Structure 1
Amino acid sequence: MRSKTALVTGANGFLGRHVSRNLSESGWHVLGLGHGAWTPKEANRWGVAEWFSNDVTLDALQDMHARPQVIVHCAGSGSVSYSLTRPLHDFSRTALTLAAVLEYARTHVPEAVVVYPSSAAVYGNAVSLPIEERAPLLPESPYGVHKVVAEQLCLSYASNFNIATVVIRFFSIYGEGLRKQLIWDACKKIYSGDFNFFGTGEETRDWLHVEDAANLIRTAIVHATPECPIVNGASGRATSVSEILKELFLNIAPHHVPSFSRREKPGDPKHFQGDVSAALKWGWSPSIGINEGLHQYVKWFKGEVV
């Protein structure tokens, strides 16, 4: 019987699924809490041994009657645009659910490790690249502001209640199964024959494959302390939107090229590149390059959507 138990909130979501499977394959007994009517067979396919369909609240966590050694809080908001249209709900999904997790740890499992996947949106438009963890926090959207609040909650519970925590500021996570954001939207547009895109194409992002993100979360577990270390989760490489689209067009519509509206999306910083020195010192490193990852994504997209 497995002795290690991990609780993954939002286990039915994009990142949560990959984290659950990664932990399960590493010997953890994984419990999942979040939204969605998951069958036991489907949950088990993603490494979730027990699935609890519920909101992430203190009552719901208590009702599980579990004593996890690790809690990975993958539940919450994941959209800048959503935060601009429903800021209060975004705050609730981000900060209040994390507050419930931290309070549950404080009152029921104070020996548990809490891992919080945050976002590079906390940096806003960075003054210099690559962005180090000590860079000023200047979020450009409610989404980024709410992530800052969530990080402060982690720091508070760590310092005041001796909860071992760790925060990972993820940049642009992508991979098979993601049905939102640039790569998903671009694939749909290309297949529909719409080759015009927002912005200039010169905007950059630091893309990290979801499997590498899950590996970093597992690696971070042993580094959680009441000092609440914070590291960037990224590839360390800035890739322009035009580079991403070039690769997608090669895989989908090789006889066409993208055009750009030169209009910017509100709340989106122009350039992102993470300094991953701290994560590399933990012995972690990204293993899936952007071209390989995009090829895998397009293959999945064709099989699942087209």
Structure 2
Amino acid sequence: MKIAITGAGGFIGSALRAYHQSLGHEVHAISRTLINEPGCYGHCISLHSEETYALIQALQPDILIHAAGRSSVPNSVTDPAADFNSGPPVVFQLLDALRLHSPKTTFLFLSSAAVYGNPAKLPIHEYSAINPISPYGCHKYQSELLVREFAEIYGGRSASIRIFSAYGKGLKRQLLWDVCQKAWGNNQISLLGSGNEARDFVHITDICRALEFIIGQSDLIGQPINLCSGISTPIQEVSQLIASHFPHQPSIIFSGVQQLGAPARWQGETSWLHSRGFDCSISIAEGVNEYVEWFLNTHQQKD
């Protein structure tokens, strides 16, 4: 297949790029900087420009995975305009380009569990109430509505994938990176929150496998699809697990200060994927072990 990936230089985008290359697909990497590597076609364009229409018309991809956009809740709170401009307007332009020039393309929009905000009850189903508590979550949901709008009015295969807390080696932000950075050479780690906050962590390998699985399904009609492990893990537990891999065993303290826009607890439920025979397979213990090993190897090489 011919697969185009926006945001191909980011954490999820680069993993998807490598994954689909390994399967022998023709991969087109769309990003702000040119990606030039064997077996991959790089396209350096602005998704806000008319270049998007020209590229879609030229490529006619079988699959377009939209992984571009800002991915920070705190940054969306401090700069909502930048978060919005990288979200719904770009999704609209991509959908419009497909409508005009490549209507047979399957479009997968990588959304977020942030659309749910603080859920009234767990686990969170695809039909749970939408109640975002950050600009990031609001803009993801606005983009989802565009995906649904185009599917209902113009047809075509599409879906919005609500990814929960993605992690894996190569990720240089968020909890695992923060804890590892602070544990490197320090005996004490200070983190925001109480430590009782919980997330549903989903490994990047499972994300790649799930997206491949979704592409193969016949009933993609613009619907949302949860992508998660189905297990809620407290931040304190994950942080201690990470710290246990460091020889000096740093202690962890929590400030009690809550991050604006951050939900208290997440636990997803994958009704759509599970009913079709797909489940995530990588445990948080296995994923953390891999991540810390990658982090330590990277930093020891620098030293």
4+ residue segments displaced more than 6 Å: none
Write out per-residue CA displacement over residues 231-279 of structure 1, whole angstroms, 9 at most, x where no aligned residue. Answer: 1100000000111011111101553321111111110000000011321
Matching residue of 2:133:
140
The answer on whether the counterparts of 1:200 and 1:261 sit within 8 Å (CA) in structure 2 is yes
Q: 1:108 offset after TM fit, Å? A: 0.5
Distance 2:101 2:21 in 1: 23
Write out per-residue CA displacement over residues 187-207 of structure 1, whole angstroms, 9 at most, x where no aligned residue. Answer: 111114241211111100000
Q: 1:17 offset after TM fit, Å? A: 1.1
Of residues 96, 101, 104 in structure 2, which corresponds to 1:103? 96
**Which residue identity is paired with 2:22?**
E
**Which residue identity is paired with 2:221?**
E
TM-score (norm: length of structure 1): 0.93
Of residues 165, 179, 184 in structure 1, which corresponds to 2:177? 184
The answer on whether the counterparts of 2:34 and 2:42 sit within 8 Å (CA) in structure 1 is no
- Size of the aligned set, in residue pairs, is 297
**Which aligned pairs between 1:212-227 and structure 2 lie closer than 5 A?**
212-223=206-217, 225=219, 227=221
- 5+ residue gaps in structure 1? none
Of residues 143, 151, 172 in structure 1, which corresponds to 2:144? 151
Matching residue of 1:293:
287
In structure 2, the CA distance between the partners of 1:148 and 1:216, relative to structure 1 (3 Å rule), is same
Matching residue of 2:48:
57
TM-score (norm: length of structure 2): 0.94
Distance 1:225 1:100 in 2: 24
Of residues 250, 255, 278 in structure 2, which corresponds to 1:261? 255
The answer on whether the counterparts of 1:99 and 1:153 sit within 8 Å (CA) in structure 2 is yes
The answer on whether the counterparts of 1:166 and 1:223 sit within 8 Å (CA) in structure 2 is no
**Which residue identity is paired with 1:87?**
P
In structure 2, the CA distance between the partners of 1:225 and 1:56, relative to structure 1 (3 Å rule), is farther
**Which residue identity is paired with 1:171?**
F
Q: 1:224 offset after TM fit, Å? A: 6.0
Distance 1:267 1:90 in 2: 14
Q: 1:143 offset after TM fit, Å? A: 0.2
Write out per-residue CA displacement over residues 22-81 of structure 1, whole angstroms, 9 at most, x where no aligned residue. Answer: 22222321111112243334xx4xxxx200112223522233321101100001111101
Is 1:282 matched up with 2:276?
yes
Distance 1:27 1:57 in 2: 30
1:116 alignment partner, SS class? strand
Q: 1:164 offset after TM fit, Å? A: 1.2
Matching residue of 1:15:
12
Of residues 203, 211, 215 in structure 1, which corresponds to 2:197? 203
Write out per-residue CA displacement over residues 107-148 of structure 1, whole angstroms, 9 at most, x where no aligned residue. Answer: 000011101110000000000001011111000000000001
Distance 1:264 1:154 in 2: 33
Q: 1:294 offset after TM fit, Å? A: 0.5
Matching residue of 2:27:
30
The answer on whether the counterparts of 2:29 and 2:35 sit within 8 Å (CA) in structure 1 is no
In structure 2, the CA distance between the partners of 1:224 and 1:86, relative to structure 1 (3 Å rule), is farther
- 5+ residue gaps in structure 2? none
Is 1:75 matched up with 2:68?
yes
Distance 1:273 1:70 in 2: 29
Aligned CA-pair RMSD: 1.5
The answer on whether the counterparts of 2:179 and 2:243 sit within 8 Å (CA) in structure 1 is no
Of residues 251-260 and 291-300 in structure 1, the stretch that sits farther from structure 2 once superposed is: 251-260
1:208 alignment partner, SS class? strand
Matching residue of 1:122:
115
Of residues 222, 231, 243 in structure 1, which corresponds to 2:225? 231
In structure 2, the CA distance between the partners of 1:120 and 1:246, relative to structure 1 (3 Å rule), is same
**Which residue identity is paired with 2:290?**
Q
2:108 alignment partner, SS class? strand
1:252 alignment partner, SS class? coil
Matching residue of 1:250:
244
Distance 2:65 2:92 in 1: 13
